[in-house]
Structure 1
Amino acid sequence: MRHWLLAGFTLLSSQVLANTTLFHNVQGYTPTLQGGLEQFNVLVVKDGKVVKIGDDTLLKQFPEATRHDVMGRTMLPGLIDAHGHVVGLGNNLVELDLRGKRSIEEIGEALRDYSKTFEGDWIIGRGWDQNLWPSQQFGNAQDLDKYLADKPVVLTRVDGHAVWVNTKAMSIAGINAQTAAPAGGEIIHLPDGTPSGVFIDKAEGLIQAHIPAASQPAVAKALHTAGEHLLSLGITATHDAGIDYTTWQVYLQEAKNKTLPLRIYAMLSAADPYLDKMLDAGVVKDPNDYLAIRSVKIYADGALGSRGAALLDSYKDRPGHHGLMLETPEHLQELLRKAFKHGFSANTHAIGDKANRIVLDAYEAEFKKTGGKLLRNRIEHAQIVEPSDIPRFKQLQIIPSMQPVHATSDMHMAEQRLSDKQLAGGYAWQTFLKQGSKVAAGSDFPVELAEPFHGLYSAITRQDSQGLPEQGWRASEVLSREQALRAFTLDAAYAGFQEHKIGSLEQGKWADFIVLDADYFKVPVKAIHDIQVEETWMAGKLVFKRQEQSANSETDAASTAQP
């Protein structure tokens, strides 16, 4: 009997090993929960989770494991984008894309070309930035009418904080000279007092309310379009910064069906009319860690590019204008209270120094009344912060959720908009880290490209893609390569309560990792910007492989659905 049991145990052990995959010939790096960076040459995975990392001695410990030769390439944990807009990205990939257009004429021609094959009722586009145009002035409805007048056109600014529409869209929305902007919004007017066709921040809603709402199938299509794109860039998890009720429903169904393409930590939009219903449904924690919904996204102010960011002092290039607060302090506290009482974190958009101060004040006041300080609350962007307010992030345990590429995209515009004094606490990543704050890094896609290595490069250099300025812009705030990687992995995971599940390749965590065409830690710093992801793996299964890369796997490639 004893021999039979021993034989059975031996057989079982062989089966366990046979279900284990050993990735070897790896140049691997991972941050660790204990701090620092660990290098490894072998990764052992079982049931989608990390068993061990180490050197070649692991080859002898797991002799019957399926082996996968990584061919000496670099392996990192799957990257986490801590601030993006998933459905917005998916839509942006198929709608009219105006990013980088250098004039109103370029935009008009793109609009006219797009309209020739467009079959819907409303033409939607995104990506314009008047700071790239010769005049650096907003366009108007007549500028668009020249190219398309018989269909409503709504073009969103690159940062999402302004829309530019044609006369047809304003007519449908009933906009005229008597239309008043809502609190927290601005309607730009022509010299004769008529609306120009540009609506900023909460005034966008005057137009958007008339655009047909997206259906659940349309949202699901955008989700999978975005998911496929993000996986190709090495992003295995993202924080979706403000979802509406329809998206919430789609996410729940996709998680139930195990068809989410990547891991999503979703924030409920505080502006959604169904917020209470979503909060009442409670915190969502998917057992496979593909979906977590446990926070609320609140908007405190606008954006710097549209002069909507709320400032303590006025804009250097628009004297007397201080930007826009989108919520009163009282309503901010009310929203915080509502989130905390349901056990949800509050993640608040604040770009200007005035907005950051008011939001910090609101958190501090509400913590005293309701509690909630331990909920890993965040300020999204935290771009321009009065230096004396930076220590308050640490004191109040507020996580600065920041997007490194914003600094290099904004630097020329920011210097036009702001004085040196206002920029003293601007994009202050290193200052936050030195005081002990964790910086959760992201891209704010589709405001910026979702490319994570652009963000890592910006964090490390504070330079644009051409390597300018040579010493870096306000270079005292640069991050090391290790700090930048941690911000896009383990600290981003921490900001979503997921540091024990993802963000590093440590024992017991999901085996989410990427294989690169270059060594992130060894290539010249300028080459980081152009690193390509060759393979993306989630829970030990291949979910993306670059086409030109030859097949080398001894394991089966999986689809982009959950295991």
Structure 2
Amino acid sequence: MVTSGPSKQNLKIKYYMKLSQKLFGLYLLGLLFFCACSGEREVEKADMIIQGGTIYTMDEAQPEAEAVAVKGNRIIFVGSSAGAQDYVAGSTEIIDLKGLTMTPGLIEGHGHFMGLGYSELNLNLLDVTSYKELVERVEAAVAKAEPGQWITGRGWHQSKWTPAPEPMVHGFQTHQLLSEVSPDNPVFLRHASGHAGFANARAMEIAGVMPLSKENIHELNMEGGEIIRDELGNPTGIFNERAMELIARHIPESTPEKDRQALALAVKACHASGITSFHDAGIGRETIELYHNAKEKGELGVRIYAMLTGFDPDLLEEWYDRGPEIDTTDHLLTIRSIKLNCDGALGSRGAWLLEAYTDRPGHFGHETLPMEFVLATSQKALKSGFQVCSHAIGDRANQEILDRYEKAFNKNPEAAKDHRFRIEHAQHLHPDDIPRFASLGVVPAMQAIHMSSDRPWAIDRLGEKRIKEGAYVWQKLLQSGARIVNGTDVPVEPINPIASFYASVSRKTLEGTPEDGYEPEQKMTREQALRSYTLDAAYGAFEEDIKGSIEPDKLADFTIFSQDIMTVPEDKLLQTKVKMTIVGGKVVYNGL
């Protein structure tokens, strides 16, 4: 029997089987080589590793960590101390916390950066406890000044003085004692809120508003402002809201050198307070130029999120055309929002209310900016990519602004999808307007320290019912879904974030009263308070993807405290000190 050889088909099958075996072998060889190389490949080495304490990350996936590794200005690892050892090289700086507590770098959510610096250069009156003490401070300044030199300052608050000055007109002191100690030097001292000013006789003479009589009254009552006057029609020295400009326009402009000095002092104060980012609420042309120059020279030092001042409509029009300036490289200076000042403050009775002041019947405060301008600005901002941040303290101001925002959103639905418009302060709200923040996506930027400082006398302005229903209602806003941005409104209050954190969770004065706090149901939890100073503050500036929490690839900005602010007993919170501040992986303050 004769058998035939293998068929062509069988030969092809064998050929492809051998080829497949060879290819598979090469694949296995390559895989083994890749695995071997991967095993030998070194993990990216860190410039800095921080460990040895409690680290709160504000990352829901990993709320706490043992160690953080930093390369350049970014975080490259967050996790265990053992895991961090893979990132250690000979040149890696190891920071041992020695039991201290670290959080993401704190963000001042509403302040005035140059005002902070100038509070160090001019008379700082925040700690003045009486009119007599204010006069003594001015008298000492006069002794050092040249005749005719202007004396300026800020920080007084008549409602915090003991005893109350006599006489008083509409709740304010009069200028006579001040004028007696400064006959040859014009004096202008801004209220702590920044919404009123106190001038002496010489300053009023220069401004042309002193002396006056009932037959010669001019510019005493103006749109958006008021000069407080006595029963004879003469100014008492108090200039409320927009009336301040009558005096301020005569004060010599600052010099570039003094501006640079103030900026340097502001940077230093932020670093010492653990502030790594700052939302600057209203800047003009000169300040924009100053910041750009400081950034180019490496002198900025703090990450600035700046709001263009609405007091300069021409400036706004220029920026509508050019669009926002977003720093995607150094993340040091971003200009993408607009600040509108729409009413005054409770302390000066300038906040715009739906009902009259309890302690000044017939007076409703001031609308310091036409609501038509708010609406027009909101629409232009949406179309140009800008966020609007409107100052509103009184319930009417908040309501009117929410109404204008809503109209702008409805007319520009596409542009309004992620607008993050804000209301700065949102201090006193009508109950019907509280849920509107969350429903409209409006961010309330509230400074908890204002409750601590103002609540003891604010009840005189609003009465108990309005206080309880709508003043400083943090928990109501949070429960409705709003995100709160915290801060101090420096130089209205000192920049100290510990004081504002304490006020957030205790709702007490800094003296620890009352025992259970004012309206205790509105307290923030400690986690909510820390979020308001970190991740939610970053959200309020469209920056939550690069800061606000300790996560890989985010900016290496950290604040290190002397004790655990999340667990220390409440009565020990104010003893907390900032021990170290790190910005972009560099230690900028070391108080260890």
Contact 1:460/1:479 (<8 A) preserved: yes
- The reply on whether 1:294 has 2:370 as its aligned counterpart is no
How far 1:464 moved relative to its partner?
1.4
User: Aligned-pair distance for 1:117?
Assistant: 2.2
- Mapped to 2, the partners of 1:193 and 1:56 lie a distance apart of 72
Aligned partner (choices 396, 406, 409) of residue 364 of structure 1 = 406
Tell me what 2:164 maps to.
135
SS at match of 1:93: helix
Task: Measure the CA separation in 2 of the matches of 1:13 and 1:151.
Answer: 72
- Structure 1 CA distance for aligned equivalents of residues 42 and 379 of structure 2: 55
User: Residue in 2 aligned with 1:377?
Assistant: 421
Following the alignment from structure 1 to structure 2, what is the Cα–Cα distance between the partners of residues 497 and 25?
Answer: 32
The residue aligned with 2:306 is 266
Please give the per-residue CA displacement for 1:165-192, whole angstroms capped at 9, x wherever unaligned.
0111111112243221331101101111
Assess if the C-alpha contact under 8 Å between 1:14 and 1:64 holds in 2. Answer: no
The separation in 1 between residues aligned to 2:154 and 2:48, in whole angstroms, is 44
How many equivalent pairs are there? Answer: 538
**Inter-partner Cα distance in structure 2 for 1:215 and 1:340:** 36
Are positions 1:344 and 2:375 aligned together?
no
1:94-142 deviation line (CA, Å, top 9, x unaligned):
2111123232221111101122223582110111111123236322232
Aligned-pair CA distance for 1:521 = 1.8
Structure-to-structure mapping, 1:103-502, within 5 angstroms: 103-118=130-145, 121-133=149-161, 134-135=163-164, 137=168, 138-176=172-210, 177=212, 178-180=217-219, 181-272=221-312, 274-286=315-327, 287-371=329-413, 372-373=415-416, 374-423=418-467, 424-502=469-547
Counterpart check, 1:38 vs 2:63? yes
The answer on whether the counterparts of 1:121 and 1:151 sit within 8 Å (CA) in structure 2 is: yes
Provide the C-alpha distance between the structure 2 equivalents of 1:182 and 1:482, rounded to a whole number of angstroms.
Answer: 45
One-letter code aligned to 1:348 = S
What TM-score comes out, normalization by structure 2 length?
Answer: 0.87
Taking the aligned partners of 2:294 and 2:85, their CA distance within structure 1 comes to: 41
Aligned-partner Cα distance in 1 for 2:479–2:561: 30
**Secondary structure at the counterpart of residue 337 of structure 1:** helix
Counterpart secondary structure, 1:108 = helix
Describe the superposition over 1:389-443 as per-residue Cα deviations: whole angstroms up to 9, x where unpaired: 1111111110000000111111111111112222211101111111111001111
In 2, Cα distance between equivalents of 1:448 and 1:107:
17
In 1: Cα distance, 2:287 partner to 2:322 partner: 15
1:75 aligns with 2:102: yes
Structure 2 residue identity aligned to 1:363: Y
Q: Distance in 1 between matches of 2:383 and 2:288?
A: 20
| Corresponding residue to 1:102 among 129, 135, 139 | 129
Contact 2:69 2:84 (8 Å CA) reproduced: no
Give 5+ residue unaligned stretches, structure 2. 1-29
Structure with larger Rg: 2
Structure having the higher helix fraction is 2
Q: Distance in 2 between matches of 1:507 and 1:356?
A: 39
Q: Which range moves more in the overlay, 414-423 or 401-410?
A: 414-423
Distance change >3 Å, CA 36–CA 310, structure 1 → 2 = farther
Cα distance in 1, alignment partners of residues 350 and 460 from structure 2: 15
Could you tell me which amino acid in structure 2 is paired with residue 529 of structure 1? L
**Sequence identity percentage:** 38
- Quick one: distance in 2 between partners of 1:54 and 1:306? 50
Amino acid in the other structure paired with 2:82: T
User: What secondary structure does 1:441 align onto?
Assistant: coil
Q: Which stretch of structure 1 is more off in the superposition, 395-404 or 132-141? A: 132-141
SS of the residue aligned with 2:121? coil
Q: 2:565 aligns with which of 520, 524, 527?
A: 520
1:305-364, Cα deviation, whole Å (9 max, x unpaired)? 011101111111111111111122212212223333322110000001011100111111
SS in 2 for 1:498: coil
CA distances 1:352-384 after superposition (whole Å, capped 9, x unpaired): 101110011111112223455322100000000
Aligned partner of 2:74 in structure 1 is 49
Q: Distance in 2 between matches of 1:543 and 1:267?
A: 25
Q: Which residue of 1 aligns with 2:119?
A: 92
| Aligned-partner Cα distance in 1 for 2:583–2:438 | 33
Structure 2 distance, partners of 1:236, 1:169, is: 39
Name stretches of at least 5 consecutive residues in structure 1 with no aligned partner.
550-563
Contact residue 281 and residue 339 of structure 2 kept, 8 A: yes
Matched letter for residue 149 of structure 2:
D
* Paired residue secondary structure (1:443): coil
Structure 2: how far apart are the matches of 1:151 and 1:340? Answer: 47
Cα distance in 2 for residues equivalent to 1:346 and 1:224: 28
Equivalent position amino acid for 1:86 in 2 = F
* Alpha-carbon contact 1:48-1:539 (below 8 Å) kept: yes
Q: Which amino acid aligns with 1:406?
A: H
Whether contact under 8 Å (1:380, 1:402) holds in the other structure is yes
Q: CA separation of 1:15/1:366 partners in 2, compared to 1, >3 Å: closer, same or farther?
A: closer
Between the aligned partners of 1:467 and 1:264, the Cα distance in structure 2 is 33
Residue 87 of structure 2 is aligned to residue 62 of structure 1:
yes
SS at match of 2:81: coil
The CA distance in 2 between the partners of 1:478 and 1:382, in whole Å, is 16
Offset at residue 513 of structure 1 (A) = 0.5
Aligned to 1:557: none
Q: How far apart are 1:304 and its partner, in Å?
A: 0.2
Give CA deviations for 1:3-53 in whole Å, capped at 9, x if unaligned: xx99xx99x966952x53222213111212xx4761111111112211111
Aligned to 1:25: 52
Whole-Å Cα distance in 1 between the matches of residues 438 and 298 of structure 2? 38
Residues 177-186 or 43-52, more deviating: 177-186
Structure 1 length-normalised TM: 0.92
Q: Which amino acid aligns with 1:144?
A: L
What CA distance in whole angstroms lies between the structure 2 residues aligned with 1:126 and 1:473? 28
Task: Indicate the residue corresponding to 2:552 in structure 1.
Answer: 507
1:68 is displaced (CA, Å) by 2.7
Provide the C-alpha distance between the structure 2 equivalents of 1:294 and 1:104, rounded to a whole number of angstroms.
41
SS at match of 1:175: coil
Letter in 2 for 1:179: H
8 Å CA contact 1:309–1:324 kept in 2: the answer is yes
Residue 341 of structure 1 aligns with an amino acid whose one-letter code is: K
Query: Following superposition, which runs of at least 4 residues in structure 1 exceed 4 angstroms of deviation?
Result: 12-16
CA RMSD of aligned residues (A): 2.1
